[in-house]
Chain A
Amino acid sequence: MALALSLAGFSLADDDEHHERQGYKRPKRLAVPSDAPLVWREECAACHMLYAPGLLPADAWREQMRTLADHYGSNASLDPLQEQEILDFLVRAPAANRLPTEPSPTAGEPPRISQTRWFERKHDEVSAAKFARESVGGRFNCVACHRDAERGDFDDDRVKIPR
């Protein structure tokens, strides 16, 4: 029991002690699972980078998958079989993400990764002007600054904001 507790303590500490104290962490276990279905890898990376499932809690993905015909202003609808397979994956994969689902500040939009409190905090030193650079594209385009974002790697040692 003592061992289990200390192990749990350890895995929390590697998140981020500073934010830990405020009782709000960034999502953990962001690596893309090796059994991720091809249909997700292809369909969900046709218009933008592939977002690691650990970035949002299961409920947020559920909401996204329910509203694909009006997906941030784009029609991203799928045939029912593909939709089901992707949904199954996206509610199973982020088991480690216990964060609350935060609605997007833009009415009528499903939840965003780039509009969460942890995202704000982790990027409080990145100015709006930098996010708006043509070479970046916007807050949603993680891969512009986090080279290996599509594998779920956001290590701050490898961050580089393009000119």
Chain B
Amino acid sequence: MKNHWIVLACCLSLPALAETEHPLLPGYAAQARLENPAFAGFSAERGQALYVAEEQRADKTMSCTTCHTADPRKAGKTPAHRKVEPLAPVANPERFSDAQKVEKWFRRNCDDVFARECTAQEKGDFITWISGLQ
């Protein structure tokens, strides 16, 4: 009986936790509003969709999962054989703590996969999703 209460208490407090916004999000929200006056907030579902979206690049299929694996809580590997530490902050607290580093890799990796830059909307969606993973 006691255990049930603990479980309940834990899960009731989850929505409150999820609402503490990631520190990089306000900046991306401001940018997204400039890019699109109809901006209506970020979505974790769209962030996840971006992560698994596949594109044909040259002769291979590319997606974020190519290097970061299907589960971003796990370590991945580049095609040039370097280990990539997990991307999800829950597994690697250093992630998404340095705005310049985040921007640099969005610039590179969105180009590698989609042959373009990602929008502020996409970046915010992505961070919303990945920083919410448990």
Contact = CB atoms under 8 A, between A and B. Distances in A.
Interface of A: 45-49, 69, 73-79, 137-138, 140-141, 144
6 contacts: A48-B78, A49-B81, A75-B109, A76-B108, A78-B104, A144-B81
Given A75-B107, A79-B100, A79-B104, A47 B112 contact: no
By Cβ-Cβ distance, the 4 closest A-B pairs, closest first, are A48-B80, A137-B81, A75-B111, A75-B108
A46 B78 CA distance: 9
B108 A77 contact: yes
B4 interface: no
Contacts of B100: 79
A46 B107 CA distance: 15
Report, as a range, how many residues of chain B touch the other chain.
10 to 19
B114 to A, nearest CB: 11
B112 A74 contact: yes
B58 interface: yes
A78 B111 CA distance: 14
Contacts, number: 36
Given A73-B58, A79-B100, A79-B104, A47 B78 contact: yes
Contacts of A46: 82
A151 B109 CA distance: 28
Interface string B50-88: 000000011000000000000000000010111000000
B104 A47 contact: no
A131 to B, nearest CB: 12
Given A73-B58, A79-B100, A48 B108 contact: no
A105 to B, nearest CB: 17
Contacts of A79: 100, 104
Interface in B77-106: 78, 80-82, 100, 104
Given A47-B82, A77-B104, A78-B104, 8 more contacts: A47-B78, A47-B80, A48-B80, A74-B112, A75-B112, A76-B108, A140-B80, A141-B81
Contacts of A144: 81
Nearest to B109: A75
Nearest to B81: A137
A6 B80 CA distance: 43
Contact of B108 (A74, A140, A141): A74
A49 B108 contact: no
A48 B81 CA distance: 6
A48 B112 CA distance: 16
Nearest to A135: B81
Contacts of A77: 104, 107-108
